[in-house]
C-alpha cells in the first residue's frame, strides 16, 4: 500500500531498513505495548498540538496589538527580551500551519491506528516528517535557534525509531496478541 505522495515510498523503505535492520529491535512485548497505546498518544498529541497552534496565534496577535512605541520595543529587547511587538511573518505563519497540519494528522490517525490500518501509521509518518520541517522553520524565526532544529531532529529520530519498530503491525506482517 503506497503513499498518496509517491516520493515518500522510497523514503519509507529507506527509513524502514535503517530503523529495523541497523538498530536493535524492541522486544515483541514492548512493540505490542506501543501499538496498543499509539492511538491514544496520537489523540492526545493532536489535541495538544491544536492547543499549541491556538497559543501561537494568540501570542502573535497579542504582541502585535501592544501599544509599545519604538522606544518601548527597544527597551523590551534590551532588558526583557519578551518579543513584544512581534508581528506575523512568513516563518510564524508557516510554523502555525505546520503545527495545525501535524495536529490534524495525529487526530486523523486515531481511528485507523485502533483498527491497525496502515493509513493511520502513514498519518503519523507524515506528522513526523512535518515535525522535521517545523524544526527548520522555527530555527529561522526570530524566536528560534539551532537548538530548536536539533531538538526536532532528535525527537523525530526517536519517533521514527519507535514508529518503524511497530510498522509491521500495520502492514499485516505482525499481529498483536490479545
pLDDT tens track for 37-56: 999 999 999 999 999 888 87
pTM of the model: 0.81
Q: Residue 49: its pLDDT value, please?
A: 93
Q: Residue 67: its pLDDT value, please?
A: 43
- Look at phi and psi of residue 26 and say left if phi exceeds 0, alpha if psi is from -120 to 50, else beta: beta
pLDDT tens track for 83-141: 544 556 677 788 889 999 999 999 999 999 999 999 999 999 999 999 999 888 888 87
pLDDT confidence bin for 61, thresholds 50/70/90: low
Cα separations in angstroms, 62 against 3, 11, 68, 89: 40, 40, 12, 14
19 CB contacts (<8 Å, ≥6 apart)? 160, 161, 163, 164, 165
Amino acid at each position: 500500500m503506497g503513499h498518496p505522495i509517491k516520493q515518500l515510498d522510497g523514503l519509507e523503505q529507506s527509513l524502514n531498513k535503517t530503523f529495523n535492520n541497523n538498530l536493535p529491535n524492541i522486544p515483541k512485548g514492548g512493540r505490542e505495548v506501543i501499538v496498543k497505546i499509539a492511538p491514544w498518544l496520537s489523540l492526545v498529541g493532536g489535541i495538544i498540538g491544536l492547543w499549541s497552534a491556538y497559543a501561537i496565534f494568540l501570542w502573535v496577535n497579542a504582541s502585535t496589538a501592544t501599544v509599545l512605541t519604538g522606544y518601548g520595543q527597544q527597551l523590551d529587547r534590551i532588558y526583557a527580551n519578551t518579543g513584544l511587538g512581534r508581528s506575523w511573518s512568513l516563518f510564524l505563519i508557516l510554523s502555525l500551519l505546520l503545527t495545525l497540519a501535524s495536529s490534524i494528522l495525529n487526530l486523523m490517525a486515531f481511528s485507523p491506528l485502533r483498527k491497525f490500518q496502515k493509513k493511520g501509521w502513514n498519518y503519523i509518518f507524515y506528522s513526523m516528517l512535518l515535525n522535521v520541517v517545523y524544526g527548520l522553520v522555527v530555527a529561522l524565526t526570530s524566536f528560534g535557534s539551532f537548538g530548536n532544529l536539533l531538538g526536532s531532529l532528535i525527537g523525530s529520530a526517536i519517533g521514527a525509531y519507535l514508529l518503524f519498530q511497530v510498522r509491521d503491525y500495520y502492514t499485516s506482517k505482525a499481529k498483536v496478541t490479545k
